[in-house]
Structure 1
Amino acid sequence: MKGIASVCCFVSLLLLASAEEEEDKEVLTSILRDRSHIEETLRLASEEPSSDYTAALQKLRKIYHSSIKPMEQAYKYNELRQHEISDGEIMSKPMVLFLGPWSVGKSSMINYLLGLQDTPYQLYTGAEPTTSEFTVIMHGEKIRSIEGIVMAADSSRSFSPLEKFGQNFLEKLVGIEMPHKLLERVTFVDTPGIIENRKQQERGYPFNDVCQWFIDRADLIFVVFDPTKLDVGMELEMLFRQLKGRESQIRIILNKADSLATQDLMRVYGALFWSLAPLINVTEPPRVYVSSFWPYDYAPDTSRELFKREEISLLEDLNQVIENRLENKIAFIRQHGIRVRIHGLLVDRYVQTFKDKMSFFSDPELVFQEIVDDPDKFYIFKSILAKTNVSKFDLPNRDAYRDFFGINPVSSFKQLSSQCSYMGGCLLDKIERAITNELPGLLSSISSGKNPTLSSCEATGCGEKPKNRYRRH
């Protein structure tokens, strides 16, 4: 009986200590952090020059539709790159993507930036894996939730291409609209946490392919880590392979830094670099921000001033992306135009070589198979390098054209010399004029502060208004 009484007494003491610890934790987390520096750094109180911004986007949209898209469609570029640019993507706001393992504070960081903590609209957070959906937080006139199937069906948005990932994924896609000054300038995307012991097939949709879709369109990518979750597994390695070539957009965040003593934090910081070094093969590593990005006050006896400076530095980084959003959009469309032009020149060269090799007694399939199997023998790619504005580093993988022409017969394409009309001009001339003159000119007008002039047709969009297939008209 004495033994049982001792055990009961010990359990009671443990419960009492746990209750006191929880009470202390509640007192600590009840103190909300001052958020005034967020509005000051992001300049949320300033007026947005929406008219100039909209006019420039309309001008960019017109250049794309009149000069780049015709060649894109004529030579089926989308079937090679699987990246079709919609009007919604051109007119969309900058996208900030949050990636990382589960329960590292991605959702809490979004709640903090938007001031959603302790409101009915905050993103759900917890110690266990809580986010199982891709959540898109965007601006709207009123607060509402939008199902993924509706987001993908509405062509006025930039998410309609997500339909190709299937219905299972669309059930895991959620949109949240709310009136917020920050969301007038940027869109946040919260992603499911990486769980290393879970196979991709268990998610029911191609998780890595969906991540790649968002990575390709993100203006800023926050990869968030917890000091207690620095292990690198197969899924995280795959994620960093997908980030290759996007190093300038990546920012590493070591979150929950106030949960460690200063000496332990230094060790974790070094361990994080040691874990990521094999995955990021660049001379200059991405910027790493060390702080605790959540609404509550920092833990006592921690580097509060350092964490505050790191937070302001991250906000300035975010603000830079917002302010440069138009320049980045123009540069992206120009880069896309360069790739489309190279693709058109390559297809034209394949078609010309095929016609030169063909004779009355030749087998068309055997002739073209020889060309596709060994393009260097016929100087396909080397001849393109002789063209102006083409770098050898911009040339696509030659093996991709074996699959491309396997689906699209060479006889279905015309040569560039015949892709001209009296009223519309030549496809090659139009895309070269856009790359060389029109897009750089638009960029210069923005840099100099001039408002791009729009004709009445450009101002109204001149085209069919995007429709929602799930809405009655």
Structure 2
Amino acid sequence: MKGTVSICCFLTLLILQATAEEEEFSSTLRDRSHIDETLRLASEEKAADFAAAIQKLRKIYHTSIKPMEQAYRYNELRQHEISAYPGRTLGDSATDGEITSKPMVLFLGPWSVGKSSMINYLLGLSDSPYQLYTGAEPTTSEFTVITHGEKIRSIEGIVMAADSSRSFSPLEKFGQNFLEKLIGIEMPHKLLERVTFVDTPGIIENRKQQERGYPFNDVCQWFIDRADLIFVVFDPTKLDVGLELEMLFRQLKGRESQIRIILNKADNLATQDLMRVYGALFWSLAPLINVTEPPRVYVSSFWPYDYAPDTSRELFKREEISLLEDLNQVIENRMENKIAFIRQHAIRVRIHALLVDRYVQTFKEKMSFFSDPELVFQEIVDDPDKFYIFKSILAKTNVSKFDLPNRDAYRDFFGINPITNFKPLSAQCSYIGGCLLEKIEKAITNELPALLSSINSGKQPGLSSCEATGCGEKPKNRYRKN
């Protein structure tokens, strides 16, 4: 009996000792110097040049693009843009807040996979009073926007939506229930001077959409449309794909080049088990990501404590640095990306105006003294190909057929905006202001490429001639690594 008690005591001591060693090890903080070095947080940026470029970009938008938006009600077509124009879009009309906003990094994924811990780690907030709350249970129920500020403070969602300078005012359309689930956190941090983080509620597959009290998928789509980089985080225990996660990947269609898959908490597994989990993750995601080149997958443990013993420490460290380099590339190219997005937006506005103009001209040509206006226009909008609406745009202008919006979108568009409300493009000219079409075409072909060229060459931003700036140069591909 005494021998049994002694063995039990000995085993208990071993367990207590192992637990104490594990706690001591897990409390050892990891060296973070590579984060500052890779993201170049110690370097000083040319703030004056950046501000000058932003001012030029804002001026081009307000003088050459926004008037065309307003004249042809481009914002009324925006509800159809998800299907018509996959990829990042601006707001109904780009606000100054959107033009001047920093790159946005969005964190998505199942609950308790380490999204909030990863943000704490990148910002050095762990074990501080200001860290995002983390835990084994679902902890994040809000959309949390972490951005730069002169002092640490939290901002209610209703305040963020009311301030147009923050570029979050369009979120009001999702209702008060959502605004109660939106929170902003401002803090003085070097990284937040260059980027904004958005933490999202974890996906819980056994929860119905209506239980959230707001349109969760629509809100996710709003942030997806504006994100420059999207981290979809998994851990080895949550690789199953349910309806909510499947819906999320449908919303990410067309954004594969901006998605980065993160297999977090990788140091919890032995190397052989990690290889199996990596394969299982690809097997689960393969039906959801239908592209030739799959998104980049990072395998590491993104939290502030040291890696578990007997794991692939060097591999995890290299994977972490690679992810930081990806993030740094988005930060360094933010001005080029912003110019390219505004130019892409201007091209869409121009195509929309050309199509509306063609509808207006066709309607006037088919109308006679005895015609019924409603029947005439209904015939045109039901079968635009019969009247060569879209083909005429491709034939007469420098427009790609892949940039044309959905034909069905205009049936709803003209249902809200009667065709008699619009003037033809030839009538949108004034002696002082010039013609709207000429101004937006000049912005697309000359002014925005010139501004982009001045940024890439390191010159002071300006709107000089084509010979001086090489305005025929195409915008830099933000998705291709240098």
TM-score by length of 2: 0.90
* Conserved? CA contact 1:55–1:454, under 8 Å: no
The amino acid across from 1:197 in the alignment is N
Distance 1:154 1:241 in 2: 31
Distance 2:445 2:48 in 1: 26
- Which residue of the partner structure matches residue 366 of structure 1? 375
Distance 2:394 2:204 in 1: 45
Structure 2 SS opposite 1:156: helix
- Which residue of the partner structure matches residue 153 of structure 1? 162
Q: How does 1:258-269 map to 2 (within 5 A)?
A: 258-269=267-278
CA offset at residue 103 of structure 1? 0.5
- Which residue of the partner structure matches residue 178 of structure 1? 187
Distance 1:19 1:315 in 2: 38
CA offset at residue 79 of structure 1? 1.2
- Which residue of the partner structure matches residue 143 of structure 2? 134
CA offset at residue 10 of structure 1? 13
* Conserved? CA contact 1:67–1:427, under 8 Å: yes
* Conserved? CA contact 2:447–2:463, under 8 Å: no
* Conserved? CA contact 2:451–2:463, under 8 Å: no
Distance 1:361 1:370 in 2: 16
* Conserved? CA contact 2:451–2:462, under 8 Å: no
Paired positions, count: 450
Task: Return the match for 1:433 from 436, 442, 446.
Answer: 442
Task: Return the match for 1:452 from 449, 461, 474.
Answer: 461
Structure 1 SS opposite 2:165: coil
Q: How does 1:198-213 map to 2 (within 5 A)?
A: 198-213=207-222
Distance 2:453 2:398 in 1: 20
Compared with structure 1, are the counterparts of its residues 424 and 12 closer, same or farther at alpha carbon in structure 2 (3 Å cutoff)?
Answer: farther
- Which residue of the partner structure matches residue 465 of structure 1? none
Task: Return the match for 2:203 from 184, 194, 203.
Answer: 194
- Which residue of the partner structure matches residue 23 of structure 1? 20
The 10-residue stretch of structure 1 (145-154 or 358-367) with the greater mean CA deviation from structure 2:
358-367
Structure 1 SS opposite 2:164: coil
Compared with structure 1, are the counterparts of its residues 331 and 167 closer, same or farther at alpha carbon in structure 2 (3 Å cutoff)?
Answer: same
* Conserved? CA contact 2:72–2:356, under 8 Å: yes
Compared with structure 1, are the counterparts of its residues 252 and 377 closer, same or farther at alpha carbon in structure 2 (3 Å cutoff)?
Answer: same
CA offset at residue 92 of structure 1? 0.6
Is 1:32 equivalent to 2:32 in the alignment?
A: no
Distance 1:11 1:200 in 2: 51
Distance 1:14 1:275 in 2: 41
Distance 1:411 1:22 in 2: 77
Gaps of 5+ in 2: 80-90, 465-482
Q: How does 1:20-169 map to 2 (within 5 A)?
A: 22-82=19-79, 83-84=91-92, 85-169=94-178
Distance 1:166 1:11 in 2: 60
- Which residue of the partner structure matches residue 326 of structure 2? 317
- Which residue of the partner structure matches residue 339 of structure 1? 348
Distance 1:205 1:20 in 2: 49
CA offset at residue 20 of structure 1? 5.8
Structure 2 SS opposite 1:176: strand
Distance 1:24 1:73 in 2: 66
Structure 2 SS opposite 1:222: strand
The C-alpha deviation readout for 1:445-470, integer Å capped at 9, x for no partner, is: 01110111499xxxxxxxxxxxxxxx
Compared with structure 1, are the counterparts of its residues 327 and 405 closer, same or farther at alpha carbon in structure 2 (3 Å cutoff)?
Answer: same
CA offset at residue 237 of structure 1? 1.0
Distance 1:162 1:346 in 2: 29
Compared with structure 1, are the counterparts of its residues 359 and 390 closer, same or farther at alpha carbon in structure 2 (3 Å cutoff)?
Answer: same
- Which residue of the partner structure matches residue 426 of structure 2? 417
The amino acid across from 2:330 in the alignment is V
- Which residue of the partner structure matches residue 338 of structure 2? 329
Distance 2:189 2:71 in 1: 42
CA RMSD of aligned residues (A): 2.1
CA offset at residue 17 of structure 1? 8.1
CA offset at residue 389 of structure 1? 2.5
Distance 1:137 1:327 in 2: 23
Is 1:380 equivalent to 2:350 in the alignment?
A: no
Structure 2 SS opposite 1:431: helix
Structure 1 SS opposite 2:274: helix
Identity level (%) = 87
- Which residue of the partner structure matches residue 414 of structure 2? 405
Gaps of 5+ in 1: 456-473
Compared with structure 1, are the counterparts of its residues 269 and 150 closer, same or farther at alpha carbon in structure 2 (3 Å cutoff)?
Answer: same
Structure 2 SS opposite 1:370: helix
Q: How does 1:225-244 map to 2 (within 5 A)?
A: 225-244=234-253
- Which residue of the partner structure matches residue 215 of structure 1? 224
The amino acid across from 2:430 in the alignment is S
CA offset at residue 366 of structure 1? 1.0
Structure 2 SS opposite 1:136: strand
Distance 1:199 1:445 in 2: 50
Compared with structure 1, are the counterparts of its residues 29 and 377 closer, same or farther at alpha carbon in structure 2 (3 Å cutoff)?
Answer: same
CA offset at residue 24 of structure 1? 3.9
4+ aligned runs moved over 4 Å, structure 1: 8-22
CA offset at residue 170 of structure 1? 0.5
CA offset at residue 330 of structure 1? 0.4
- Which residue of the partner structure matches residue 363 of structure 2? 354
Distance 2:286 2:57 in 1: 39
The C-alpha deviation readout for 1:329-361, integer Å capped at 9, x for no partner, is: 000000000000000001111111111111111
The C-alpha deviation readout for 1:97-133, integer Å capped at 9, x for no partner, is: 0001110000000000000000000000001100000
Structure 1 SS opposite 2:440: helix
Structure 2 SS opposite 1:450: coil
Distance 2:173 2:13 in 1: 55
Compared with structure 1, are the counterparts of its residues 375 and 16 closer, same or farther at alpha carbon in structure 2 (3 Å cutoff)?
Answer: farther
Distance 1:43 1:146 in 2: 29
Q: How does 1:269-288 map to 2 (within 5 A)?
A: 269-288=278-297
Task: Return the match for 1:443 from 440, 452, 468.
Answer: 452
Structure 2 SS opposite 1:386: helix
Structure 2 SS opposite 1:232: coil
The amino acid across from 1:157 in the alignment is R
* Conserved? CA contact 2:454–2:462, under 8 Å: no
